[in-house]
């Protein structure tokens, strides 16, 4: 556990090579439609597993309604994304250094949703991200539940979208609704499907097949089966300890599965050109059609 002081980086690290000139940042958005499916658990553990495999990783919590990335990692934010929007601090002041050097940008619970943010606040975020000088390879974006504009926008701006689904009718229908609007309205052509809380391996594939059948019929989108995370008591214990399961209980079944997912995510084709830079990620957010800024 880090000391309260070392947890909080008052400034972005200096003397780092920065992103420009480095390989583009890969942005992975995690969404699900329905709440409580496991987005934050997946985001936190995927980010930690990527970090452990040597990827410089930043975990961005965009759930201003029900943020809990910082809670899950036992971090104590001094400032959050909500403070950035309110003009109370600079983005780099929200940066927390988590375990294994994972960078975390926390949101804030009980604040306005991304959708309710003013256009100039989006612009402010773009500007702020472009000023960050944190060398990262991968950025994992944890999203709010639902299919509000903010969620769609973050997914659209990412190179890869992981849709988390579990074996509940509402989860499957919400995942379908999310995939539908992403493919029809936002030009997303490839989705990674991750089954969570499965009782056995076959359950995950069955869930995927269910989604695949209906999307193949009605939508023009490619679904990839990323795999399954078992329902795991160790994961719940890790949440209670405010640690990622991959750190707290590395041999737990869910931890093994998360490392496997991270390994596979590392093999996805690298983003080409500068579009993967964090500042471009943010610029794509505001440049998208339908945005109040565009």
Q: Are 52 and 100 in contact (CB under 8 A)?
A: yes
| SS3 assignment, position 31 | strand
Cβ-count burial 166-177 (b if 16+ within 10 Å, e if not) = bbeeebbebbbe
CA distance 144 to 35: 8
CA distance 54 to 56: 6
Q: Are 192 and 211 in contact (CB under 8 A)?
A: no
Least separation in angstroms between residue 189's CB and ligand ADP is 24
Q: Are 178 and 147 in contact (CB under 8 A)?
A: yes
**Alpha helical stretches, state H, 67-193:** 69-72, 81-85, 91-94, 119-131, 149-157, 169-185
User: What is the total count of residues that contact ligand ADP (CB under 6 A)?
Assistant: 17
By beta-carbon distance, which residue lies closest to Mg ion?
Answer: 40
Which of these segments, 3-11, 77-85, 104-112, 226-234, binds ligand ADP (CB under 6 A)? 226-234
Name the residue among 104, 85, 86 with its Cα closest to residue 95: 104
Considering the complex, state which of residue 25 and residue 72 has its C-beta at the smaller distance from ligand ADP: 72
Considering the complex, state which of residue 7 and residue 39 has its C-beta at the smaller distance from Mg ion: 39
Least separation in angstroms between residue 40's CB and Mg ion is 3
Site for Mg ion in 33-72 (CB under 5 A): 39-40
Least separation in angstroms between residue 52's CB and Mg ion is 22
Considering the complex, state which of residue 144 and residue 282 has its C-beta at the smaller distance from ligand ADP: 144
Q: Which residues are annotated as a binding site for ATP?
A: 34-41
Task: Dig out the tokens for 72 from the structure.
Answer: 């899950």
Q: Which residues are annotated as a binding site?
A: 34-41
Please pick, from the candidates 55, 57, 196, 288, the single residue that binds ligand ADP as defined by CB under 6 A: 196
Least separation in angstroms between residue 217's CB and Mg ion is 30
Site mask for ligand ADP (CB under 6 A), range 30-49, x = bound: --x--xxxxxxx--------
Least separation in angstroms between residue 229's CB and ligand ADP is 5
Which of these segments, 7-15, 187-195, 235-243, 275-283, binds ligand ADP (CB under 6 A)? 235-243
Residues with Cβ within 8 Å of 289's Cβ and at least 6 positions away in sequence, in order, are none
143 near Mg ion, judged by CB under 5 A:
no
Place of tokens 């000391």: 3
**Contact positions vs ligand ADP (CB under 6 A):** 32, 35-41, 196-197, 229, 231-232, 235-236, 239, 254
Site for Mg ion, rule CB under 5 A: 39-40
């Amino acid at each position: 556990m880090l000391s309260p002081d070392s947890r909080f980086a008052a400034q972005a690290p200096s003397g780092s090579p920065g992103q420009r000139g480095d390989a583009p940042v890969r942005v992975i958005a995690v969404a699900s439609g329905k709440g409580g499916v496991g987005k934050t658990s997946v985001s936190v553990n995927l980010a930690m597993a990527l970090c452990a495999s040597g990827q410089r990783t930043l975990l961005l919590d965009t759930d201003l309604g029900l943020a809990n990335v910082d809670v899950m990692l036992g971090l104590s934010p001094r400032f959050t994304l909500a403070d950035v929007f309110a003009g109370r601090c600079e983005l780099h002041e929200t940066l927390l250094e988590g375990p294994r050097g994972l960078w975390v940008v926390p949101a804030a619970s009980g604040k306005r949703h991304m959708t309710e943010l003013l256009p100039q606040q989006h612009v402010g975020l773009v500007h702020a991200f472009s000023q960050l000088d944190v060398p990262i390879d991968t950025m994992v974006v944890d999203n709010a539940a639902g299919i509000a504009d903010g969620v769609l926008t973050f997914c659209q701006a990412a190179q890869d979208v992981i849709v988390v689904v579990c074996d509940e009718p509402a989860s499957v229908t919400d995942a379908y609704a999310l995939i539908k609007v992403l493919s029809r309205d936002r030009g997303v052509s490839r989705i990674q499907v991750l089954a969570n809380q499965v009782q056995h391996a076959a359950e995950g594939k069955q869930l995927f097949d269910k989604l695949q059948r209906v999307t193949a019929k009605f939508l023009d989108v490619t679904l990839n089966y990323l795999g399954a995370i078992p329902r795991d008591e160790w994961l719940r214990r890790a949440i209670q300890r405010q640690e990622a399961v991959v750190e707290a209980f590395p041999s737990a079944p869910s931890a093994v599965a998360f490392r496997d997912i991270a390994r596979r995510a590392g093999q996805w084709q690298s983003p080409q050109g500068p579009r993967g830079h964090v500042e471009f990620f943010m610029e794509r957010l505001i440049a998208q059609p339908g945005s109040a800024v565009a």
